[in-house]
């Protein structure tokens, strides 16, 4: 196993431990019973990250775990507006990053009609059942 694969495996182990303990408003979500799907989805996100970024994130997860913070609970609480957002400086950075990500997703959809996104792109498309890439990314980046 490469160093990068090892980092991704360690990250996913901690994330799953946190994710499987998240208590949603309506109880556990069905995806919390599917560790293999979680692993596939999260690894596909992390594969493009540099080793330095993976190491930094792994350290963040380990530090959070030491002080009994569940970053997955915090992420979903932020996505639902249940806890305060970060400060305005951080929000400004998040806005810039998310705007780029949404633009890239639009370009991908335009250039590759066979591309079928897992989520809608924009928050205005959120429903109680489906969360957009924009909303999800904001939650991830704010945590």
pLDDT tens readout for residues 53-70: 999 999 999 999 999 999
Is residue 71 domain-shared with residue 12, that is, in the same domain? Answer: yes
Mean pLDDT throughout 133-142? 93
Q: How many CA atoms lie within 13 A of 65 on its CB side?
A: 16
Query: Which band of pLDDT confidence, cut at 50, 70 and 90, is reported for residue 141?
Result: very high
Residues 70 and 93 reside in one and the same domain: no
Q: What is the rounded distance in angstroms from the CA atom of residue 133 to the CA atom of residue 8?
A: 21
Domain shared by 89 and 24, yes or no: no
Residues 75 and 101 in one domain: no
Residues 52 and 18 placed together within one structural domain of the fold: yes
Check whether residue 75 and residue 89 sit in a common domain.
no
| The pLDDT of residue 105 is above 90 | yes
Boundaries of domain holding 135: 85-143
pTM of the model: 0.84
Token pair listed for 128:
């109680």
Q: Is residue 10 domain-shared with residue 75, that is, in the same domain?
A: yes
What per-residue confidence (pLDDT) applies to 24?
Answer: 79
What domain count does the chain have? 2
At residue 42 the predicted structure's pLDDT band, cuts being 50, 70 and 90, is very high
Question: Long-range CB contacts (< 8 A, 24+ apart) of 77-80?
Answer: 78/138, 78/139, 78/142, 78/143, 79/131, 79/135, 79/136, 79/138, 79/139, 80/25
Length of the chain: 143
Asked if 75 and 61 sit in the same domain, the reply is: yes
The pLDDT value given to residue 25: 75
On the question of pLDDT at 97 being above 80, the answer is: yes
CB 8 within 8 A of CB 46: yes
Residues 79, 94, single domain; the answer is: no
User: Where does a domain end: 84, 103, 118?
Assistant: 84
17 shares its domain with 52: yes
């Amino acid at each position: 196993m490469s160093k990068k694969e090892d980092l991704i495996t360690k990250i996913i182990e901690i994330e799953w431990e946190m994710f499987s303990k998240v208590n949603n408003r309506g109880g556990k979500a069905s995806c919390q019973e599917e560790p293999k799907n979680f692993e596939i989805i999260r690894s596909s996100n992390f594969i493009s990250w540099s080793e330095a970024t993976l190491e930094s994130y792994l350290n963040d997860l380990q530090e959070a775990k030491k002080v009994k913070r569940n970053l997955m609970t915090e992420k979903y609480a932020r996505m639902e507006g249940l806890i305060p957002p970060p400060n305005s400086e951080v929000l400004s950075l998040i806005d810039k990053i998310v705007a780029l990500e949404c633009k890239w997703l639009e370009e991908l959809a335009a250039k590759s009609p066979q591309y079928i996104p897992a989520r809608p792109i924009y928050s205005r498309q959120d429903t109680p059942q489906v969360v957009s890439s924009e909303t999800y990314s904001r939650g991830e980046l704010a945590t």
